[in-house]
Chains A and B, each alone.
Chain A
Amino acid sequence: MTRTAKFRVWRGDANDGALKDYNIEVNEGEVVLDVIHRLQATQTPDLAVRWNCKAGKCGSCSAEINGRPRLMCMTRMNTFTDEETITVTPLRAFPVIRDLVTDVSFNYKKALEVPAFSGPANLKPGEYRMEQIDVERSQEFRKCIECFLCQDTCHVIRDHEENKEAFAGPRFFIRLAELDMHPLDTLDRKRAAQEKHGLGMCNITKCCTEVCPEHIRITDNAIIPMKERVVDVKYDPARWLGSKIRRREGL
C-alpha cells in the first residue's frame, strides 16, 4: 500500500541550516532510509546522506529520527502513524559536514588512544590459548558496528563539548572492558579507564544501552563492571591490602 508521508529533513552545513518540509511517497515494508533515498532521487538530488549496507551492519546511516539516535535503515516506516511528521536530522553531538552527514572523526581519535591488545611477553602470536567460556564473554562487545549512536546520545559530550578531550565515550568503554576481561591481556586497563579515558564522568544513565542497534548491554556488561574493577584498584582499601598480601592480580 502506498501513502504519502510528511518528512522534515535538516538541510545545511557547518555554517547554517534549517529543517525543510517534504511530502514523499512511502511503500509497504520500507524503512526511513528508503524514503530518504526516494527523496534524493525525486526531489532533492543534492541531499547528502551516508549509507552503505542497508542491513544494520555497517553503522553508516546513523541519524536522529524524531529526536532519537537511530539507524535509518533499521527504522521501519510502519512504526509511525500516517499523520505523523517524521523529523530526520544529522547526529547532533558531532560537527556536521552537510545535510545528514556528520564528521565522526572524534571517535577515530579516541580509538587511537586505547592501546591494542598486549599479550604475555613469553608467548608469541599463534601460541595464545583460551578456553571457550573466556572467549564468549567479550563476544558481545565485538558485535559493535561502530555506528556511534552511543557516542552521539551520551550527554557527557553531547551536552558538554568541552568534555570531548577527557572522555572516550561508551563505545570505547566496551573496548576497554573487552580488553580488561581478556585472560591474556597484560596492560592495566582499569586505571587507564579512570585516569585517561574518563570512565568516572559516566553517570550510568544508560542512554548508550537504549540506542545500541546491536543490543549490546553497554552499561550493565561493560561500564558498570569496569567501574567495579576501578573500585577494586583505586577505592577499596581492603582489596588493595589483599592484593598486596596475597599477590592475586589477574585472577
Chain B
Amino acid sequence: MGMLMSGTITTPGRAKIAARHLRTDKWWVQPLITVAVLVSFIIYSTWRAFENAHYFVEPYISPFYSPCLATSCVEGASGFGQPFGSWWVLSPSLLILVFPLGFRMTCYYYRKAYYRAFWQSPPACAVAEPHKTYTGETRQPLILQNAHRWFFYAGLIFNVILSYDAILAFKNAEGQWGHMQVGTLVLLANATFLWLYSLSCHTCRHTIGGRLKHFSKHPVRYKLWTKISELNHHHPKFAWISLIGVALADFYIRSVSTGFITDLTIF
C-alpha cells in the first residue's frame, strides 16, 4: 500500500466532488481513542517487558511474565520450570509476549481498529483514505494475518497458565491455601476476561462449528456455535476490557511488589 494523496474518489465519470468526505459527524473520535489506548498500552507494556523486575510477589505473578521460563527469573516465579536456562540474558517476558501480541495483532477486531486508526485505510466509512494504491491482505506481510488461528491456539495455552496463576492466588503471602486478597480478584478477573476474549474470537467460532456445511449433522457443535456466536457479538468489548485488564493486573502486582500499595486481605 503506497502512501500518497487521495485515491480515486475523484475518478472521472463519478460525481465531481473534490472533498475527501462530506461527513458532518465526529468520525475522527473513534480512531483517535483507538490510537490513544493502543499507544498507551504499547508504551506501558514495552517498559514493563524490559524492566525485568517487580513481576513476582508471593503468591502472584504478573501476566506479562507468566510463565517465567529462564534461569534469570526471580525465585519462586518459575512454576513451569526454566527450560530456557541461563543463556537467555534478556527479560524473560520477551520469550513469551510474542504469543499474546501475535494473537491480538492478527485478531479480526483489532485489524479493523488499527487499519482504521493507524493506517487510515480507511480512517472512517466514506472518508477517503490517503493511499494511492491498495492490495489489502493479498500479499506479504499482511497475508500472514491468515495465521490468526495458530496464535489463537497459543493464546488458549496462555489462558490455562494464567488461570492456574489465578488459582495459586488463593494462597496467602506465606504460601498457605484457602485465602483471598484483592490480588486474587485481580488475577481472577484478568483470566476471566482473557477467556471471554479468546472464546468470543471469530476463529474460535469457526473452529467450534462455523466451518460446518451441515449443522443438522452436528447438533452438539451447532449448539456450541450458537453460544460462541452470542459471545462473538461482544468480541470488541472483550478485546478492550481484556487488554486494559492485563495491564491493570500487571500494574497491581508491580505496585504490591514495590510496596506502593498494600494487598488487602479478604479472608
Contact = CB atoms under 8 A, between A and B. Distances in A.
Interface of A: 10, 12, 14, 16-19, 64, 66-69, 84, 87, 89-90, 92-96, 102, 130-131, 133-134, 137, 153, 155-156, 158-163, 180-183, 198, 200-207, 210-211, 219-220, 224-225, 227-232, 234-236, 250-251
Contact of A134 (B13, B205, B214): B214
Interface residues of B, number: 57
Nearest to B138: A200
B214 A183 contact: yes
B23 A204 contact: no
A95 B213 contact: no
Given A134-B216, A201-B138, A235-B147, A229 B211 contact: yes
A228 B211 contact: yes
Contacts, number: 174
B133 interface: yes
Interface stretch (B14-22, B71-79, B174-182, B251-259): B14-22
B134 A160 contact: yes
Interface in B19-49: 21-25
Contacts of B142: 203
Contacts of A198: 136, 138
Given A204-B112, A228-B203, A251 B136 contact: no
Contact of A16 (B16, B111, B216): B16
B17 A10 contact: yes
A87 to B, nearest CB: 5
A84 B25 CA distance: 11
Interface stretch (B81-89, B119-127, B188-196): B119-127
B250 interface: no
A131 B125 contact: no
Contact of A66 (B23, B146, B205, B210): B23
B138 A207 contact: no
Contacts of A210: 125
B51 interface: no
Contacts of B149: 228, 231, 236
